[in-house]
Amino acid sequence: MSHHIVVIGKTGQLAQALQKEIGRSSLTANFIDRKSLDLSAPETSLNSALRKLPKCHAVILAAAYTAVDKAENQQEKAMAVNGRAPGLIAAFCKEQDIPLVHISTDYVFNGQARKPYKETHQIAPINAYGRTKRAGEVAIELSGCRYAILRTSWVFDGHNKNFLTTMLKLAQTHKTLSVVNDQLGRPTYAGHLAKAVLKVTNELIANTKEPIGIVNVTNTGPIISWAEFAKVIFSDQNLDVKVVEISSLEYSTPAKRPAYSALDTRKFETLFASNLPSWQAGLKVALAERR
Ligand SMILES: NC(=O)c1ccc[n+]([C@@H]2O[C@H](COP(=O)([O-])OP(=O)(O)OC[C@H]3O[C@@H](n4cnc5c(N)ncnc54)[C@H](OP(=O)(O)O)[C@@H]3O)[C@@H](O)[C@H]2O)c1
């Protein structure tokens, strides 16, 4: 039997990757854009918009307020989209008796750890985006719906706005680039993340008894800084750009970022008997996507 899913989000990196992956699978899906369902108005239009969604076996929430720096000055809007809307969507899923797959972030942690964060590690976001994403996790946990919350990190693909495409764009006009070396984590290719999201979705549809809860889902591979990631990108592309390593203090942004946010992915590996490929493998696919 072919299962039908609703993906909230259509234009984002993950939603686009899901569109590709679903096209290769036996699933069918509707992708819901902001015009049909605006997450910034959870208390007014969201409930009626949810009721107009096509019938489905599961919902994937792939949309979010992702502008980490802007969130500092737009906390109310970010909280509506990331904090309150997921709770209403979870309540809708409970009422319909269908599972919800939600995406969260490494930025729920404060970055003081020096080994990869387990799902159970103490939460302590240091910026508004992280606080709103955590509020969304809690709202889903309290809803009583069947859910999986997939925490991921440093998402990239070959064409949307992200670190990889920004570096490649800057390389066209710069011979030297300053990049921070004191934020460590693991990049995640959106295509690999999308495959994992569908694995989890299929599991929740097929197995109505076992809870999944929160699970870390990132590419595997070495933990690196943004500066190291930039160097790998330029070297892979044979681009003659010198990366000058700087500290976060020298590259001031409105939102603080965790100094360390690598996630421990052993829970995913245990649940699904396999893990995601390395971020280097993801980078190769993303770069091939551009050609
Ligand atoms: N990107 C990362 O590095 C990263 C890291 C960790 C976790 N995550 C999480 O991964 C998930 C997917 O992220 P992504 O990288 O695919 O994000 P993205 O490329 O920034 O896309 C965000 C999506 O959310 C939609 N959206 C924003 N505000 C909305 C609203 N008020 N109503 C309806 N839709 C709205 C956007 O639609 P419009 O095109 O209409 O604006 C867009 O489709 C998110 O939950 C994010 O928090 C991302």
Q: Reply yes or no on whether 117 is catalytic.
A: no
Report which secondary-structure segment, H or E, holds 6. Answer: strand 4-8
Judge whether 201 and 60 are in contact, CB under 8 Å: yes
Helices and strands (H, E) in the chain, number of each type: 10, 12
> Tokens 């409105």 appear where?
254
Distance between CA atoms of 59 and 64, rounded to whole angstroms? 14
The residues lining ligand 1, judged by C-beta closer than 6 Å to any ligand atom, are 9-15, 34, 38-40, 62-66, 81, 103, 105-106, 133, 152-155, 160
Cα dist from 117 to 44, 63, 110, 259, whole Å: 37, 24, 10, 13
In the DSSP assignment, the letter for residue 106 is G
Cα dist from 102 to 60, 181, 269, whole Å: 6, 30, 18
Distance 58 CA to ligand 1 centre (A): 19
| Cβ neighbours of residue 152 closer than 8 Å, sequence gap 6 or more | 103, 104, 105, 106, 188, 193, 216, 217, 218, 263
Q: Which pLDDT belongs to residue 44?
A: 87
> Tokens 């991921």 appear where?
152
Q: Which pLDDT belongs to residue 69?
A: 97
* Ligand 1 atom, smallest distance to 66 CA: 20
* Ligand 1 atom, smallest distance to 10 CA: 43
pLDDT tens for the chain, 291 residues long, are 789 999 999 999 999 999 999 999 999 999 999 999 999 988 888 999 999 999 999 999 999 999 999 999 999 999 999 999 999 999 999 999 999 999 999 999 999 999 999 999 999 999 999 999 999 999 999 999 999 999 999 999 999 999 999 999 999 999 999 999 999 999 999 999 999 999 999 999 998 877 899 999 999 999 999 999 999 999 999 999 999 999 999 999 999 999 999 999 999 999 999 999 999 999 999 999 988
* Ligand 1 atom, smallest distance to 80 CA: 31
Judge whether 237 and 291 are in contact, CB under 8 Å: no
Distance 15 CA to ligand 1 centre (A): 8
Distance between CA atoms of 26 and 35, rounded to whole angstroms? 27
Q: Which pLDDT belongs to residue 201?
A: 97
Mutation probe of ligand 1 site: the residue of 34, 154, 229 with most atoms within 8 A of C-beta: 34
* Ligand 1 atom, smallest distance to 14 CA: 16
- Of 65, 107, 117, 129, catalytic: 129
Distance between CA atoms of 206 and 183, rounded to whole angstroms? 39
Distance 156 CA to ligand 1 centre (A): 12
Q: Which pLDDT belongs to residue 209?
A: 79
Residue 7 CA neighbour count, 13 Å, CB half? 27
Distance 34 CA to ligand 1 centre (A): 11
* Ligand 1 atom, smallest distance to 81 CA: 31
Q: Whose CA is nearest to atom 40 of ligand 1?
A: 34
Distance 191 CA to ligand 1 centre (A): 15
Distance 144 CA to ligand 1 centre (A): 24
> Tokens 């020298």 appear where?
250
Cα dist from 157 to 10, 170, 219, 226, 237, whole Å: 15, 16, 13, 15, 15
Judge whether 107 and 54 are in contact, CB under 8 Å: no
Cα dist from 288 to 125, 188, 284, whole Å: 35, 16, 6
Topology given in CATH for the domain delimited by 4-160+188-220+261-278: Rossmann fold (3.40.50)
Model pTM greater than 0.95? yes
Q: Whose CA is nearest to atom 33 of ligand 1?
A: 34
